[in-house]
Amino acid sequence: MAKLWGGRFSKATDALVDDFNSSIRFDARMYAQDIEGSQAHAEMLGRQGIIPKEDAALIVKTLGEIRQDIEDGKIEFQIDAEDIHMNIETILISRIGDVGKRLHTGRSRNDQVALDIRMYLRHEIDEISALLKALRKTLLTIAQENLTTVMPGYTHLQKAQPITLAHHVMAYYEMLRRDGMRLSDCRKRLNIMPLGSGALAGTTYPLDRAFVAEKLGFDDITKNSLDGVSDRDFVCELAFDLSAIMMHLSRFSEEIILWSSHEFGFIELDDAYSTGSSIMPQKKNPDVAELVRGKTGRVYGALTGLLTMMKGLPLAYNKDMQEDKEQIFDAVDTVKMCLPVFEKMLATMRVKKDNMLRGAKGGFTNATDAADYLVKKGLPFRDAHAAVGKMVAYCIEKDTVIDALSIQELKAFSPLIEEDFYDAVSLHTCVSQRKLPGGPAAETVKAAIEAYQKEEA
């Protein structure tokens, strides 16, 4: 096939180069954005008198028909037409000849691809934001149902202090809420219209850039033509935002995997969200959580790949930048696959409240509260810490727990200890007294949940 840019060439492109150079295999997915962008550009060219109005109208109409044919599976894209932009332009010209040849007036593929990728990613950001919101709502439901489900909180994966499952789940809620805010922030910087940048130096035609921006739902136009065609910050930024989502899902996955182990026994995943072993009949594996954790690597890979791809590029457009697509598309696809399955896995899991409570009872999770009790009786904190440390060592020796010691045994560690000690170190008190803002007390967490339910509505 003759190339649209073939004028100065006397030889055909080698088939190997066609194959190597072509991006149609992966950029075909931007067909709708390419067509919408071209329709807006053509309409503007007509309005500005740069091309005849009736030519503009025919281009707009024919592009609409091409879009329908693509959606009906009637079109086979050509490798040697290189990318989605030239494939569509080639089809347009094959249908309406010279009129179609007027479309690319005052435009370059460099600003065209910058436009398409922005429009495409804008759409994906909206879809991912909706999926993220659905997951956050499920977290709110789980939290609401577990306001008093006491479990051990950990640091260093060693039991630390008692918390509730609601408080734990709401920690992830906070992360995913920030992830949502990051996405909408990224959308703002991405939603700037680059057409009119031309290849790099703008154009002499009197384009109405503001009209095109408005028509295509952009908030503004790019302010420097070199930057307009060579900026991929927004792709890197989105890759980071997606990486942060995956980091959060991956940490949660790690906990789901631990919690569903026999050793923890805090949850049981639903059969529909687990898998078995081909050899060991007893097995029920948390494959969904493991795969989410595993897929995190490829999203980080996209971020690293994109930053590395951009780091040495002189202004303005360089073909290297075609490499942005497979990476960001894969990252987007991965996150879109992970979010709903992760959400359903959580929504269907069974919480083993008794095991969580038992877990909280072991490991001296109330030791801090025992020390705080002594502080309230007047002892300096460091002395209280030391006294309870000895108490813990004594319990380990006797294979028992603080609250099982008799009052005589307790008084040996501090004469300040009275009968009210037992209530002060009960798990219920440990949790319910931590009611300052941000703490795990049921009333505090409930208030947070209710505020966020309004926000999500």
User: Known catalytic residues?
Assistant: 156, 277
- Contact by Cβ (8 Å): 453, 140: yes
193: three-class secondary structure by DSSP: strand
Shortest distance in whole angstroms from residue 113 CB to ligand ARG: 4
Distance CA 117, CA 104 (A): 18
Subset of residues 181 to 200 that bind ligand ARG, contact rule: CB under 6 A: none
Shortest distance in whole angstroms from residue 183 CB to ligand ARG: 23
Two structure tokens written together for 84: 């989605």
Beta strands per DSSP E along 291-407: 350-351
Fill in the DSSP letter of residue 76: -
Q: Which of 83, 179, 343, 369 binds ligand ARG (CB under 6 A)?
A: 83
Residue 430 amino acid letter: C
Shortest distance in whole angstroms from residue 84 CB to ligand ARG: 8
Distance of CA 116 to the CA centre of its chain: 21
Residue 377 amino acid letter: K
Cα-flanking dihedrals φ and ψ of residue 267, to 5°? -140, 160
Pairing of strands 267-268, 350-351: antiparallel
Contact flags string 318-357 toward ligand ARG, x per CB under 6 A: -x-xx-----------------------------------
Closest CA to 165 of 270, 259, 248: 259
- Name the one range near ligand ARG by CB under 6 A: 231-239, 317-325, 376-384, 445-453: 317-325
> Does 23 contact ligand ARG by CB under 6 A?
yes
Question: How many CB atoms sit inside 10 A of residue 96's CB?
Answer: 19
Which CB sits closer to ligand ARG, 199 or 347?
199
Two structure tokens written together for 412: 């040996």
Distance CA 46, CA 56 (A): 5
Distance CA 280, CA 403 (A): 42
Which CB sits closer to ligand ARG, 322 or 327?
322
Shortest distance in whole angstroms from residue 81 CB to ligand ARG: 11
Q: Which of 90, 110, 161, 164 binds ligand ARG (CB under 6 A)?
A: 110
> Does 253 contact ligand ARG by CB under 6 A?
no
Which CB sits closer to ligand ARG, 27 or 403?
27
Number of residues that bind ligand ARG (CB under 6 A): 9
> Does 229 contact ligand ARG by CB under 6 A?
no
Q: Which of 113, 183, 193, 310 binds ligand ARG (CB under 6 A)?
A: 113
Shortest distance in whole angstroms from residue 215 CB to ligand ARG: 22
> Does 8 contact ligand ARG by CB under 6 A?
no
> Does 109 contact ligand ARG by CB under 6 A?
yes
Distance CA 233, CA 446 (A): 39
Two structure tokens written together for 98: 């010279």
Which CB sits closer to ligand ARG, 11 or 319?
319
> Does 293 contact ligand ARG by CB under 6 A?
no
- Name the one range near ligand ARG by CB under 6 A: 142-150, 316-324, 431-439, 442-450: 316-324
Pairing of strands 192-193, 150-155: unpaired
Distance CA 386, CA 392 (A): 10
Shortest distance in whole angstroms from residue 117 CB to ligand ARG: 8
The residues, ordered by sequence, that sit 6+ positions from 348 with a Cβ below 8 Å of its Cβ are 269, 270, 272, 273
**Which spans of this chain sit near ligand ARG (rule: CB under 6 A)?**
23, 27, 83, 109-110, 113, 319, 321-322
